[in-house]
Amino acid sequence: MDGADEFMKYRSPLVSRYASKEMAYNFSDRKKFTTWRKLWIYLAKAEKSLGLPITEAQIQEMESHQKDIDFAMAAEEERKLRHDVMAHVHTFAHCCPTAAPIIHLGATSCYVGDNTDLIVLRDGFDILLPKLARVIDRLANFAETYADLPTLGFTHYQPAQLTTVGKRACLWLQDLTMDIRNLQRARDDLRFRGVKGTTGTQASFLQLFQGDHDKVEELDRLVTEMASFQKSYLVTGQTYSRKVDVDCLSSLASLGATVHKVSCRSWRHIEMLPPCGHSRQCASACRSRNPMRSEPDPLQTASVQWLERTLDDSANRRISLAESFLTADIILSTLQNISEGLVVYPKVIERHIRQELPFMATENIIMAVVKAGGNRQDCHEKIRVLSQEAAAVVKQEGGDNDLLARVQKDPYFAPILGQLDAILEPKTFIGRAPQQVARFLSEEVRPLLEPYRSKMDVKIELEL
C-alpha cells in the first residue's frame, strides 16, 4: 500500500496523536501476531517435551520465522477463509513448511486469541503502573512543598474552614493511591487461559496424549509458565470469563473518575494552573485531560457470554480493551507533565482568604471579647449585624468584604483591636493539615512508590 493511502482512511487519534509509543505498540497488529506465533512455538515445545512427534528442526524453523510476518499474505488469506486465526496459521505455515503439520496442533482459535489478550492486558498494566506511580510521586512532592500554605476550603462549592494547598493535594493522592492498588491488583489477578481446547474441556489434547490426564495438565502448566504467568484459569469455556475484562476496565474507569476530579476546573478554585510552555500547549494539555469513561461494552459482554461462548464479543473487545488502555495512557502522561510544573499563586490565595476569613473568624472574635470581659450574647448580636452589612456590600454592591473595617470602627470592640491580627492569622485556621500531610505521605504514599523507584526519573514530553 502506498504510504499516502494511509491518509485516506480514519486513524484513531488515540494512536496518531496521544498514546505513548509503548502503549500503541502493545495493541498493534505486530505485537498481536508475533505473540500468536510465540504461543504456537510454546505449544509445540511443550507438546514435544511431553512426547508428541515434533522435531527440534520444526521448532527452530518456527522460531526463525517468528517475526517475519507477511501481512499482505495474511490479509489475502483472511479474505479467502473469513477467519483471522486460520489466515495466520496458513501464513506461518507458508514460511515454515517443515513445521506446517504441527502448528496450532490440538488448539482452538481462542488459544492464541484469548491468551494474547491476557498478555496484552498484563503488559498494558505494566506500562500504566509506573506512569501512575510517577504522577503520585510528583503530586506528593507538591503536597509536601505546600503542606502549610493556607487556602480556602470548600464544601458544597461554598467557602468553608481553611485547609492547605498540600492537604487538598493529599485528597487527590488518596484516590490515586487507591487507583494504583486497584491497577496492581487487577494486573496480579490476571491468569492465563492456557491450553483448554474448543469448549474448555481439553478433549482434543486428551486425545493427542492417548487419554493421559497428567500430560494434559502438564501441557497447560508448561505453556502457562513459558508465557510468564503464575497460574492459568482452572475452568474456561472456549474463552476466559469476560468478567476478567470487566475487572480490568473497571480499575481504569475508577482511575478516570479520579483524574476528572483532579482537573483544570478544580485548580481554578485553589489558585493554581498547569504549566504552559505557550498558549497552544496549555490549551492542548487542558483539553486532552478529559477523563476516560468506561463504556458498557465489557459489562454487557460478560453478561451475555452464554454457555461456552457466543460470538458477540469479537468486535467490541477489539475497541473497548485497546481504547481504554490507550486513553488511560495519555491521561497519565499528561497528568505527569502537568504535575511536574504546577504553578501556585500565593498572593491570589491570600486575597481570596481575606475576602472570606473575617466571616469565618467571627467565633474567634466573640471568644476574645468574652475573655476581655464582654457578654457573649451582646457580642454575637453585634457581629451578626456587622456581618450582614458586610455581606450586603459583597453580594449586592460587588464590593470587598469590609467586616474587619466595621469591627475596627465599632467602639464595642476597642478592647480587642490589638488582637485582631493574631485572630485573623490564616495559619491558626488550618488545624492539623500540615501534620496530616506529613504523616500521610510518609506512611501511605512513599512506601507505595518503592517498587517503582527505578522508573521514577522518566520525564514526559508531550507531542500533542
| Domain contains 448 | yes
Look up the domain containing 315 and give its range: 109-209+225-274+308-344+443-452
Confidence of residue 380 (pLDDT cuts 50, 70, 90): very high
Question: Is the pLDDT score of 267 beyond 80?
Answer: no
Q: Which residues contact 243 (CB under 8 A, 6 or more apart)?
A: 302
Residues facing 272 on adjacent strands: 344
Helix, strand, coil percent values for the chain (each to nearest 5): 70, 5, 25
Q: What is the pTM of this model?
A: 0.85
Find the CATH number of the domain harbouring 195.
Answer: 1.20.200.10
Q: Which amino acid is at 15?
A: V
Distance between CA atoms of residues 420 and 361, nearest Å: 10
Under DSSP, is residue 164 helix (H, G, I), strand (E, B) or coil? strand
Distance between CA atoms of residues 201 and 237, nearest Å: 8
Other C-beta atoms lying within 10 Å of the C-beta of residue 194: 27
| 445 against 351, higher pLDDT | 445
Active site residue 324: no
Question: Is the pLDDT score of 289 beyond 50?
Answer: no
Burial (CB count within 10 angstroms: exposed 0-12, middle 13-18, buried 19+), residue 34: middle
| Domain contains 229 | yes
237/148 same-domain check: yes
Question: Is the pLDDT score of 290 beyond 50?
Answer: no
- Residue count (the chain): 464
382/258 same-domain check: no
How many domains does the chain fold into? 2
How many helices (H) and strands (E) the chain has is answered by 22, 4
Distance between CA atoms of residues 372 and 185, nearest Å: 59
Confidence of residue 281 (pLDDT cuts 50, 70, 90): very low
Question: Is the pLDDT score of 287 beyond 80?
Answer: no
Contact 120, 35 (CB under 8 A): yes
Distance between CA atoms of residues 323 and 126, nearest Å: 16
205/322 same-domain check: yes
| Domain contains 147 | yes
Least confident of 220-224, 283-287, 378-382, 423-427: 283-287
Alpha helices by DSSP H, 227-313: 243-261, 264-269, 279-288, 297-304
241/329 same-domain check: yes
339/236 same-domain check: yes
Grid coordinates representing 441? 505521605
| Domain contains 461 | no
Q: Which amino acid is at 436?
A: Q
187/315 same-domain check: yes
| Domain contains 458 | no
CA neighbor of 131 nearest in space, from 454, 456, 444, 451: 456
Q: What is the mean pLDDT of residues 326-343?
A: 90
Contact 187, 247 (CB under 8 A): no
Q: Name the catalytic one among 204, 266, 284, 387.
A: 284
191/205 same-domain check: yes
Between CA 9 and CA 113, with CA 91 as vertex, the angle to 5 degrees is: 75
Cα 145 to the center of its chain, rounded Å: 25
Q: What pLDDT is stored for residue 156 in this prediction? A: 82
| 181 against 351, higher pLDDT | 181
Q: What pLDDT is stored for residue 278 in this prediction? A: 41
**What is the chain's mean pLDDT, rounded?**
88
189/334 same-domain check: yes
130/231 same-domain check: yes
316/421 same-domain check: no
Q: What pLDDT is stored for residue 338 in this prediction? A: 87
Active site residue 303: no
Q: What pLDDT is stored for residue 5 in this prediction? A: 74
Q: What pLDDT is stored for residue 19 in this prediction? A: 87
403/330 same-domain check: no
**H or E segment at 280?**
helix 279-288
| Domain contains 18 | no
Q: What is the mean pLDDT of residues 223-245?
A: 95
Question: Is the pLDDT score of 62 beyond 70?
Answer: yes
In this structure, what is the dihedral angle of CA atoms 370, 373, 376, 379, given to the nearest 10 degrees? -90
| Domain contains 286 | no
Confidence of residue 4 (pLDDT cuts 50, 70, 90): low
Find the CATH number of the domain harbouring 392.
Answer: 1.10.40.30
CA distances from 92 to 67, 84, 397 (A): 10, 12, 79
Question: Is the pLDDT score of 270 beyond 50?
Answer: no
Under DSSP, is residue 439 helix (H, G, I), strand (E, B) or coil? helix
252/186 same-domain check: yes
Least confident of 16-25, 57-66, 217-226, 281-290: 281-290
| Domain contains 287 | no
